[in-house]
Amino acid sequence: MRVTALLLSTIMCGAAAAQDYQPDFDPSKYKGPASGPVNEVLVLGTAHLSQLPKGFKPGNLQPLMDRLAAWRPQMIAIEALSGPQCDHVRRFTRGYDDTFTTYCWDPAPARAATGLDVPAATDEATRLLAAWPATPTAAQRRQLAAVFLAGGEPASALVQWLRLPASERIPGDRLDAALVSVLTGLEQKTSENYLIASRLAAQLGHERVYPMDDHTADSANGDHQAYGAALTKAWDNPATAQRSKTDDPLHDGATSPDGVMAMYRASNAPGQGKLIFDSDFGAAMNEPSPQRYGRNYLGYWETRNLRMASNIRDALGVAPGKRMLVVVGQSHKAYLEAYLHQMHDVRIVDAMPVLR
């Protein structure tokens, strides 16, 4: 009995020590570099524009676009899967269910027009951009747009398309009539990736945008119905009710420029991250099912955001000292800011002064 008591005491003390332990190294406390420009990141939390009321018009975004342009980002990252990741989930379907059909553009028409599969098109786009002239011809832009489409990067293809004079937005140079139809459709698509990011990139003279979403943590849970029911029950809480009470009128009011600005100011205001946590991820963490469905969901969510942050960090590491705008669903904003704040040469920019 004495041995058992000692063992229990040791185990309990060890558990308490593990709970009390705080790492003595915090990367965010060691900021640099000592000279040269830092990386500045402004994370713009957004409602998904496709979910706004029918009265929303793209022109309502103009005041927002003017403010973002005045901040003059040098890179723009978007909540989209890269062409190579879409190619991965298309080839390795186990565990991804409908990830490809939900989040990816099928590059088959562009492959037929260019003869390039996703890996070859990705390499070709890299090669073209490495030798990109200061004043590319219209033919070069059409060719790069076609290559981006073949590589599964429609938002970057749209940047090239929008940088063409209207008279040059025609088939040619591997961009056939079917792909022109795709690009003209993307111009009108109600998505922040196209209406905000691609258009702003083209306006500011960028050559592409940077997809940084990640769905490699997607996995099929054995009992979808039970999983969904457990999460739905967890999400039925006062914080969710508060979000609906606040967000629904803001989304309904996005039918005017002033209404759009009110929505973006609210989405990026202090306190939103905690409210979203209480409503969604914190509630899931404490969901009591024996299968721990909420913990499954939380693991997916944190992994996804960590990988999104690493994709952003990767892009900044290739081109250090840049000012990057990240356009992302508002539930991701606080997580990306917190994770990126840990990076030694990244400074998070407060979105609120930009949105005033």
Task: Please state at what angle helix 138-150 crosses helix 154-163, rounded to 10 degrees.
Answer: 170
Instruction: Give the pLDDT score at 98.
Output: 86
Instruction: Give the pLDDT score at 227.
Output: 94
Is the pLDDT at 5 greater than 80? The verdict is no
Cα distances from 80 to residues 85, 105, 122, 134, 189, in angstroms, run 10, 10, 16, 28, 14
Tokens of 27: 């990367």
Is the pLDDT at 1 greater than 60? The verdict is no
Q: Which of 214, 250, 234 is nearest to 328 (CA)?
A: 214
Contact 77, 43 (CB under 8 A): no
Q: How far is it, in rounded angstroms, from Cα 183 to Cα 263?
A: 28
Residue type, 57: K
Is the pLDDT at 232 greater than 80? The verdict is yes
Instruction: Give the pLDDT score at 219.
Output: 74
Q: Give pLDDT tens digits for 70-113.
A: 999 999 999 999 999 999 999 887 778 789 999 999 999 999 99
Report percent pLDDT > 90 for the chain: 89
Instruction: Give the pLDDT score at 10.
Output: 60
Q: Give pLDDT tens digits for 307-352.
A: 999 999 999 999 999 999 999 999 999 999 999 999 999 999 999 9
Residue with tokens 């747009």: 145
Is the pLDDT at 3 greater than 60? The verdict is no
Q: Which of 91-100, 119-128, 248-257, 293-302 is least confident?
A: 91-100
Residues whose CB is less than 8 angstroms from the CB of residue 276 and which lie 6 or more positions away in sequence, other chains included:
243, 330, 331, 334
Residues β-bridged to residue 325: 42, 76
Is the pLDDT at 15 greater than 80? The verdict is no
Q: Which of 9-18, 27-36, 180-189, 206-215 is least confident?
A: 9-18
Q: Give pLDDT tens digits for 177-212.
A: 999 999 999 999 999 999 999 999 999 999 999 999
Q: How far is it, in rounded angstroms, from Cα 295 to Cα 286?
A: 8
Instruction: Give the pLDDT score at 328.
Output: 98
Summary mean pLDDT of the chain: 94
Instruction: Give the pLDDT score at 127.
Output: 98
Is the pLDDT at 172 greater than 60? The verdict is yes
Instruction: Give the pLDDT score at 8.
Output: 63
Report percent pLDDT > 70 for the chain: 94
Instruction: Give the pLDDT score at 223.
Output: 83
Instruction: Give the pLDDT score at 302.
Output: 98
Residue type, 24: D
